[in-house]
Amino acid sequence: MAGIKSTRRERIKKGIRKHLAGSTERPRLTVFRSNKGIYAQIIDDTTGKTIASASTLSKEFAGSGNKVDQSKEVGKLVAEKAVAAGISKVVFDRNGYLYHGRIKSLAEGAREGGLDF
């Protein structure tokens, strides 16, 4: 049975996705947070394709420190991949999570990496 937190997040997520959609010229940067790691994807919703992705489990990821620092590194990594794919502007989808802590850190890392949102 799903917990109260997860059902609340799903409800918030549906509300956010009602207003957000990634296009070809401005794809969606979505974030998933687990207890152990953090995952980020850049998705073009018109074609349903993932353009770039990065996580704490990626081979390129070599971060250490606490989870907030790791999130910032993942943000920089996904931004590097997006810029290499020719994307500079994205729409940020926080996926029902509060813009605080690891989510905020990932967003700041992506901005430092060259993404604009």
Only one residue has tokens 């620092």, namely 69
Tens digit of each residue's pLDDT, the chain (117 residues): 568 988 999 999 999 888 888 888 899 999 999 999 999 999 999 999 999 999 999 999 887 889 999 999 999 999 999 999 999 999 999 999 999 999 999 999 999 999 998
Q: Where are the alpha helices (DSSP H) in 20-101?
A: 67-84
Strands of the 91-93 sheet, one edge to the other: 49-55, 38-44, 28-33, 91-93
pTM of the prediction? 0.90
Helix (H, G, I), strand (E, B) or coil at 69: helix
The pLDDT of residue 11 is: 92
